Every structure is written in structure tokens, then in C-alpha cells.
Amino acid sequence: MATPLKFGKSFLRVVEVAKVAPQGNGVPATKAFLGASQFRRYTSTHVNVQKHGSVAILELNRGPVNSFSLEFLEEINTNLESLENDQDCQGLIVTSGVPKVFSAGLDLVKEIYQPSDKKRLASFWSNFQEMWLRLYGSRLATMAAINGHAMAGGCVLGLSCDYRVMAEGFRIGMVEIEAGVPPPSWVVGTMRNVVGQSCTEKAILSNKRYTSEEALAVGMVDKTVPKDKVMEETMVEMEKWVAFSGKARELTKRTLRKEYVEALENNRAEDIKNFCDCILDEDVQKAIGKQIEKISKKK
């Protein structure tokens, strides 16, 4: 049985996955791949962490679209910190337990449309920064099992991982400017490191929503498979990555990503101020309002 993780919050509870009914969210495929051996699940309000051996699966479950609220980000960061500090853990897979959606990005309604509490807005962005820093700067081998649409901040979440397996039939895109929110330099840099300058410019400025096949063609994702094979294929790839030296991986990733990680770490307060100033701008608020109205009409 896998070594239990040391989570610091009392709301976490532990259950045996073998005793939990399949949820249709990738767990059955994982169990089939891992065979009959048991692994443990650590559940908080909107995040489930399953750990088998040296690999952890972090599953997001904030319906309907896994949009990032302050509390959701805090919960994700608590789990990421725990996994980073667990020396038995060498690999992390991020996926979704929400049907058809990996993540739709920032919670426009709750967090950034007509915000009444500036301190909460600043804390919200600080936690989004933290999630990116923990993933992009992680010592772990990180992979995104993208089993649904991944837009805006959801695309950032996937790009922050080392490797991406995406389900066929879904879309992914850095579509922040449609809502009037320009992506910060560290988000742009994350995408640039994956697909290059030209593709990054076209993707962001055109607000393009890539099909899984288009995303594969430009290198935004590394593999596309049928949805019911996403977790299995990600686990197969992860098995290869965790076979290498964890220390060598950590030092190599630090070298590869030092520029953007250190730039944000050294300028977090300024980045938060820039974000808050942008969000509170009248024209940006109008754009956010129009985007919310557009989304509401699709429901």
C-alpha cells in the first residue's frame, strides 16, 4: 500500500479507492492500468488526490466547469504543496472529474466581474500565481491528462505541465483577450516555451480555440487519444519519466524554466497590482460583462 501523504488540513479524509464506485472520470482506466494493487485517495472539497507508488493523480472536481475561484485555488495549492513535500512522490498527473471540461479558467462571475473586495481580488491572483509557480517550477514529472475542453486559465494549467495527453473531440486555447484580460508575461512565456513565438502570437491575438488535432500539430499537446484512453496513456508515459533520476530532473527543469519562474518570484507584488488595475478598468469590466452574457446564452 502506498505511503500516506501528510496533508495539513483537517477537512481531508482518506478512503480506499477499491471501495469507491467508479465515477466515470478516468478512475476505472487508471485502475485497469494499475491492476489489482491498491492505492489511496485523499479527498478535499473539490480536489481528489490518488496516489499509487511514486505517482499521484490530482483530479479537479469543481463543477460545472472547474473554473478557478479563490477557495478552489487555495485547495489546489494545498494539495500541490503536500505532494511536492512528499519525497516518495516523483510524478504528478493533473486531470478533471468534471464531464467534458478540463478547466474553463478563471471564475469570471465570482472573482473578477465587478469585484467589491480588492483584497480578495489580490489574494485570488496571488493564488493563481502560486498554482503556476508550484506546477511550472515543480521538481516532479508533471503531466496533464486533458479529458475535456481547456480554455484560458485551463489552457495555462495544461501548459504548465511537462507533458500533455488530450482527448479527441475537445478544444484548447489561450482565449483571455476575449474577456478583456491580457495574459501576463509569465503566462505568455509558458506558451512560448511550448509552441514558439509565432504560434503563441497567433494563438493569443486571434483568440483561437484549437481542436485536439490542431493542438497536436502545433505542439500544444503531445498526444491525442480517445477520451477513455487518456488516463491510461498518460500513466504509460509517466512510467517512463519517473524511471529517471529525480534529482537530475529537478535540476534540469530548474535550468530550463529559471527565467520565467524567477521573474515572477521577484515581481509578484507588481504583477498582482497590474492585474488588479487591469481588472478594475472600466473597459475591461465591460468586456468581462459581455463575455459572461455570451456564456449565459449558450447554456
Q: Which amino acid is at 253?
A: K
Q: pLDDT of 158-171, one tens digit each?
A: 999 999 999 999 99
Q: Which residues pair with 172 in a beta bridge?
A: 150, 210
Residue 7 has pLDDT above 80, yes or no: no
Is residue 7 situated within a structural domain? no
Is residue 64 situated within a structural domain? yes
Q: pLDDT of 212-229, one tens digit each?
A: 999 999 999 999 999 999
Q: Is 1 exposed, middle or buried (0-12, 13-18, 19+ CB in 10 A)?
A: exposed
Is residue 19 situated within a structural domain? no
What CATH number should be reported for the domain holding residue 74? 3.90.226.10
Q: Are strands 223-225 and 163-167 parallel, antiparallel or unpaired?
A: parallel
Is residue 16 situated within a structural domain? no
Share of the chain above pLDDT 90, in %: 82
Is residue 10 situated within a structural domain? no
Is residue 28 situated within a structural domain? no
Residue 131 has pLDDT above 80, yes or no: yes
Residue 120 has pLDDT above 70, yes or no: yes
Whole-angstrom Cα distance, residue 235 to residue 33?
8
Q: pLDDT of 223-268, one tens digit each?
A: 999 999 999 999 999 999 999 999 999 999 999 999 999 999 999 9
Q: Quote the domain boundaries for residue 55.
A: 47-297
* DSSP codes joined into one string, 76-124: HHHHHHHHHH-TT--EEEEEE-STTEEE--B-IIIIISS-S-HHHHHHH
Q: Which residues pair with 173 in a beta bridge?
A: 151
Q: pLDDT of 137-151, one tens digit each?
A: 999 999 999 999 999
Is residue 88 situated within a structural domain? yes
Per the model's pLDDT, the better-predicted residue between 2 and 191 turns out to be: 191
The pLDDT value given to residue 42:
66
Whole-angstrom Cα distance, residue 120 to residue 89?
33
Q: Are strands 13-16 and 40-43 parallel, antiparallel or unpaired?
A: antiparallel
pTM comes to 0.87
Cell numbers linked to 295: 456564456
Residue 48 has pLDDT above 80, yes or no: yes
Q: Which amino acid is at 226?
A: P
Cell numbers linked to 155: 489552457
Expressed in angstroms, the distance from the first to the final Cα of the chain is 44
Q: pLDDT of 97-117, one tens digit each?
A: 999 999 999 999 999 999 999
Interaxial angle between packed helices 27-34 and 230-241, expressed in degrees from 0 to 180 and rounded to the nearest 10: 50
Is residue 24 situated within a structural domain? no
As for how many domains the chain has, the answer is 1
What is the CA angle 40-42-45, rounded to 5?
A: 155
